[in-house]
Amino acid sequence: MLTSPCLACLLLLLLLRLSFPSSAEVFFEERFDDDNWESRWVKSDYKIEEGLAGNWRHTAGTWFGDPDDRGIRTYPDARFFAISAKFPPINNKNRTLVLQYSVKNEQKIECGGAYVKLMSGYVNQKRFSRDTPYSIMFGPDLCGTDTKKLHAILSYNGQTYPNKKDPKCETDHLTHVYTFIIRPDASYTILVDNKEREAGSLYTDWDMLPPRKIKNVHAKKPADWDDEKEYIFDPNAGKPEGYDLILREIPDPNAKKPVDWDDEIDGEWKGPKIRNPEYKGPWKGKRVKNPKYKGKWRIPWIDNPDFVDDPDLYVFQPIKYFGIEVWQVKAGSVFDNVLICDDPEYARQVAQETWGQNKEVEKESYAEAQKIIQAKEQEEKRKEDSASKYSKHRDRIKHDYVKDRWRKEEHKHRSRVHDYDYHDEF
């Protein structure tokens, strides 16, 4: 039987959904609100024989914005996690496809994925693994300090293609909502927490098709192409008559020939020169547009003869499965609020309802949890330090004891040797 708070939540959810656009079609939605979620999902046996198959815990996590908003959390560490759900086939021809979910990486993930997959055709869900073909792979992937990818990988004609722009994911320990929108005009948008992270075209940001245009590598710059100077000085604009005859230096008018200078012996006297105050340098005049300048020459683009358009580039084989398949060194990712629909506005409102209204409370919960965690770590460190000091003290006592025994034995030995030497003398 539902408690009154749960009933209130459901009523609020119903009211919010009534306010959503009636034109939105929801293909699949999972909020993990009830304890029967496992009946709708299939856990894969992937890596179970090697003892490396991970498991899932139904929880809101260690910190949260709403304790009743539960998801599924990976555990334990160093495992492969694979789980999937099936739904009626989705045909996205002539319609927008929206994939959205939230994930909270509570652990210091070190190296591991937090992405999801959409799959077409038949999938043996009990054998769902990294080798299972997929249509879309989307979401965070972190490893060390270098890899902070937000995967957006699409399948086309049996091959997979990553997004060339390589968008980045969030790296903190709070919940984030990831949204991937693909439209019939082959445009796309990637949102993080309802804010645009990347956008563009399937034609340009994936290499599924050859480019429409290519550079004409055989083109050469024309011989008369001037791309050196866009502006030049007008040589005839107001140039004073005789300007070019003005000398840079002139004889110093104040210099006098030394009295002892002998022209016959010393040669003709030529006084020192000084800078001509009337000399203004080369005539520059005003700058004018160079009539020969044609701009920087660039290799021209031409139509690519290998390009063949596919108006259905955005269309996938009917999608039937949603799956989570990741490897994590450190487990602790909480997946929640999965949504596949055809209306970006509906997805935006769902994100606001499930994440936006609770994000500030979650931040406060996280801060309080960190205080508890830090206090626990400090207490454990204190115990370790105390144990280490005790161990060092014990080792020192043992060392002193052994050293004292060694001194006593050495003293006895020397006493025996002395007695032997003494009696030997007599």
- 8-209+315-357 — its CATH code? 2.60.120.200
Q: Is 166 annotated as a binding residue?
A: no
Helix (H, G, I), strand (E, B) or coil at 17: helix
pLDDT tens profile 18-51: 555 557 899 999 999 999 999 999 999 999 999 9
The confidence score (pLDDT) of residue 426 equals 42
Q: Which has more confidence, 338 or 406? A: 338
* Locus of tokens 């004889």: 251
Average pLDDT over residues 180-192: 98
**Using an 8 Å Cβ cutoff, are 300 and 215 in contact?**
yes
Least confidently predicted of 32-41, 150-159, 257-266: 257-266
Question: What's at 415, amino acid-wise?
Answer: S
| pLDDT(417) > 60 | no
Q: Residue 81: enclosing H or E segment and its boundaries?
A: strand 79-90
The confidence score (pLDDT) of residue 33 equals 93
DSSP letter assigned to residue 36:
T
Instruction: List the beta bridge partners of residue 201.
Output: 187
Structure confidence at residue 96 as a pLDDT band (50, 70, 90): very high
Q: Residue 320: enclosing H or E segment and its boundaries?
A: strand 319-328
Pull the structure tokens for residue 332: 């602790």
Question: What's at 128, amino acid-wise?
Answer: F
* Burial grade of 384 (CB within 10 A; 0-12, 13-18, 19 or more): exposed
Q: CA torsion sign, 31 to 36 to 40 to 41? A: positive
Characterize 333-344 residue by residue with b for buried, 16 or more Cβ atoms within 10 angstroms of its Cβ, and e for exposed. bbbbbbbbbbbb
Structure confidence at residue 72 as a pLDDT band (50, 70, 90): very high
Q: Is 343 annotated as a binding residue?
A: no
Q: Which of 320, 369, 316, 373 is nearest to 93 (CA)?
A: 316
| pLDDT(354) > 50 | yes
Reported pTM:
0.72
Average pLDDT over residues 283-295: 79
Q: Is 134 annotated as a binding residue?
A: yes
Least confidently predicted of 117-126, 195-204, 290-299, 381-390: 381-390
| pLDDT(275) > 60 | yes
How far is Cα 133 from Cα 128, in angstroms, rounded to an integer? 9
How far is Cα 272 from Cα 250, in angstroms, rounded to an integer? 9
Average pLDDT over residues 259-272: 84
79 φ/ψ sector (left φ>0, alpha ψ -120 to 50, else beta) = beta
Average pLDDT over residues 202-224: 92
Q: Is 353 annotated as a binding residue?
A: no
How far is Cα 105 from Cα 322, in angstroms, rounded to an integer? 20
* Locus of tokens 């693909």: 182
Cβ neighbour number for residue 73 with a 10 Å cutoff: 22
The confidence score (pLDDT) of residue 287 equals 77
The confidence score (pLDDT) of residue 231 equals 81
The answer to whether the peptide bond before residue 76 is cis (omega within 30 degrees of 0) is: yes
Instruction: List the beta bridge partners of residue 138.
Output: 116, 152
| pLDDT(382) > 70 | yes
The confidence score (pLDDT) of residue 294 equals 82
Least confidently predicted of 6-10, 27-31, 146-150, 347-351: 6-10
| pLDDT(241) > 90 | no
Q: Is 379 annotated as a binding residue?
A: no
| pLDDT(350) > 70 | yes
Q: What is the DSSP string of 170-207?
A: --SSSEEEEEEEE-TTSEEEEEETTEEEEEEEHHHHS-
Q: Which of 278-287, 331-340, 399-408 has the highest mean pLDDT?
A: 331-340
Least confidently predicted of 201-210, 287-296, 391-400: 391-400
Look over the chain and give the mean of its residue pLDDT values, rounded to a whole number: 87
